[in-house]
């Protein structure tokens, strides 16, 4: 019996000595192998990431799985709604309703309950951080110092401009673009792709961009029936006598729709005078729906009376879905350019059922019917 106990004890000791070669010892050998090869194992709590280059030219490390997003730029918020990615939102810019319209709450009723830690031009770093976002989308108007503060906290920040330009021009509100059409077209595509990639909605993003391309082709095809010498002179009237000149998307949209922007001689978004508009003498004046009161001001001011557009009653409010802003959106390219062209040249576009197109877009990408 005593010999048997000694034998069992020796056998147990032998097994314990052999353990490092198997089972638990496997991790020890792996660590040793990693030390020899120089490979670094990620910390157990670290999230897998990848890198992107945002539209401000910054390299940003993004979590592969993004569940919490703060969108402090209305264009980005709009695109997220179109990509059906609103369930990832934990914070939005405080003036989303005045910039986008109340339809955003029809698409996503929960938006009214979200935190609003900033705007397109400023944000509260502590308030943003408290939301524990995986990604924060911002405009090019956010100060660089603020971006740096968020980065120091380890929060990925992605800048969206909706145009392609070098780093210097990407951070300006009125960029100098050599080819605005190309810059905004490629810029919107790039923005849709980036937002789709980050939100995991790549297929919907591709569908959205293909819709834009298809509708733009309809405009180009129908405009071939309108001679160059018959192109109409137009002016976009905004609040406080501001308008869009060269380098802004509205100028591109006008050109795509076969219009001649009378303000093409100015750069960016600038304030002009009634005397200047009178000298340009536009045949049609457009007003954004959010600035509808401007139309009443024009009608009631005798200083505008000599302009052809006023004399002939060619004062037109652009519908909400056209979004004729300084930067493009999928709606403005896919629907706004067709609306503008059809409004100016109804005979050339008489076979285009725009109302049906608008409903199809809203049902496909927003999941709601369009209501004016």
State residue 171's pLDDT score: 60
Is the predicted pLDDT of residue 20 greater than 70, yes or no?
A: no
CA distances, 87 to each of 67, 81, 114, 204, 354 (Å): 8, 9, 11, 15, 30
Kindly state the percentage of the chain with pLDDT values over 70.
85
Kindly indicate the confidence band of residue 165, based on its pLDDT and cuts at 50, 70 and 90. Answer: confident
Is the predicted pLDDT of residue 113 greater than 80, yes or no?
A: yes
Q: At what angle do helices 74-82 and 180-199 cross, to 10 degrees?
A: 60
Spatial distance between the Cα atoms of 299 and 166, rounded to a whole number of angstroms: 42
State residue 340's pLDDT score: 97
More confident residue, 167 or 145: 145
- 227 Cβ partners below 8 Å, 6+ apart? none
State residue 170's pLDDT score: 65
State residue 29's pLDDT score: 41
| Total residue count of the chain as it appears in this document | 372
Look-up of token digits 């503060």: 149
Mean pLDDT, residues 83-107? 95
Residue 316: beta bridge partners?
A: 286
What domains can you pick out in the chain, each with its CATH number? 49-177 (3.40.50.1980), 220-366 (3.40.50.1980)
Q: What is the mean pLDDT of the chain?
A: 88
Is the predicted pLDDT of residue 8 greater than 50, yes or no?
A: no
CA Rg value for the chain = 28
Task: Give pLDDT tens digits for 115-137.
Answer: 999 999 999 999 999 999 999 99
3-state helix, strand, coil in the chain (%, to 5): 50, 15, 35
State residue 5's pLDDT score: 52
CA distances, 92 to each of 97, 193, 281, 335 (Å): 10, 20, 41, 25
Mean pLDDT, residues 96-105? 92
| Closest listed residue to residue 170, CA positions, set 154, 191, 201, 193 | 191
Q: How many CB atoms lie within 10 A of CB 216?
A: 16
State residue 199's pLDDT score: 98
Is the predicted pLDDT of residue 17 greater than 90, yes or no?
A: no
Burial of 232-258, coded b for 16+ CB within 10 Å and e otherwise, reads: bbbbbbbeeeebbbbbbbbbbbbbbbb
Task: Give pLDDT tens digits for 219-271.
Answer: 999 999 999 999 999 999 999 999 999 889 999 999 999 999 999 999 889 99
Kindly indicate the confidence band of residue 101, based on its pLDDT and cuts at 50, 70 and 90. Answer: confident
Burial of 11 (C-beta count, 10 Å sphere; 0-12/13-18/19+)? exposed
Task: Give pLDDT tens digits for 169-223.
Answer: 666 667 778 889 999 999 999 999 999 999 999 999 999 999 999 999 999 999 9
State residue 178's pLDDT score: 81
Pairing of strands 135-138, 49-53: unpaired
The answer to whether 177 touches 169, Cβ cutoff 8 Å, is: yes
CA distances, 365 to each of 209, 322, 334 (Å): 11, 15, 12
User: Which stretch of 20-29, 59-68, 116-125, 162-171 has the lowest confidence by average pLDDT?
Assistant: 20-29
Kindly indicate the confidence band of residue 32, based on its pLDDT and cuts at 50, 70 and 90. Answer: very low
Look-up of token digits 């929960």: 110
- DSSP code, position 332: I
Task: Give pLDDT tens digits for 203-215.
Answer: 999 999 999 999 9
List the alpha helices (DSSP H) in the chain: 2-18, 25-37, 74-82, 96-100, 103-107, 125-130, 144-152, 167-170, 180-199, 202-223, 249-256, 274-280, 293-300, 308-311, 330-331, 337-344, 354-361
């Amino acid at each position: 019996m005593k010999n048997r106990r000694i034998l069992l004890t020796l056998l147990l000791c032998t097994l314990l000595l052999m353990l490092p070669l198997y089972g638990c010892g496997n991790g020890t050998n792996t660590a040793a192998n990693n030390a020899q090869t120089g490979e670094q194992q990620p910390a157990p709590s670290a999230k897998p990431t990848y890198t992107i280059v945002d539209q401000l030219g910054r390299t940003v490390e993004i979590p592969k799985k993004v569940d919490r997003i703060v969108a402090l730029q209305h264009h980005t918020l709009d695109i997220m709604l179109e990509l059906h990615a609103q369930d990832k939102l934990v914070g939005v810019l405080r003036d989303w309703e005045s910039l986008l319209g109340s339809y955003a709450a029809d698409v996503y009723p929960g938006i009214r309950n979200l935190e609003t830690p900033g705007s397109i031009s400023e944000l509260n770093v502590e308030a943003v951080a408290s939301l524990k976002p995986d990604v924060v989308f911002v405009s090019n108007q956010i100060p660089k110092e603020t971006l740096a503060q968020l980065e120091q906290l380890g929060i990925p920040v992605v800048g969206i401009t909706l145009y392609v330009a070098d780093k210097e021009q990407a951070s300006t509100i009125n960029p100098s673009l050599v080819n605005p059409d190309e810059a905004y077209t490629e810029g919107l595509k790039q923005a849709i792709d980036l937002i789709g990639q980050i939100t995991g909605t790549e297929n919907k993003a591709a569908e959205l961009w293909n819709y834009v391309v298809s509708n733009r082709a309809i405009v180009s095809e129908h405009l071939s029936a309108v001679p160059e010498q018959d192109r109409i002179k137009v002016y976009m009237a905004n609040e406080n006598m501001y308008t869009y000149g060269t380098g802004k998307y509205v100028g591109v949209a006008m050109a795509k729709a076969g219009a001649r922007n009378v303000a093409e001689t100015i750069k960016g978004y600038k304030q002009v005078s009634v005397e200047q508009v009178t000298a340009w003498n536009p045949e049609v004046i457009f007003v954004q729906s959010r600035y509808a009161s401007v139309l009443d001001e024009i009608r009631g001011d005798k200083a505008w009376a000599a302009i052809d557009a006023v004399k002939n009653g060619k004062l037109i409010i652009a519908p909400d879905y056209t979004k004729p802003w300084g930067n493009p959106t999928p709606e403005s390219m896919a629907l706004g350019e067709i609306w503008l062209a059809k409004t100016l040249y109804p005979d050339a576009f008489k076979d285009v059922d725009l109302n049906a197109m608008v409903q199809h877009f809203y049902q496909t990408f927003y999941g709601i019917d369009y209501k004016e």
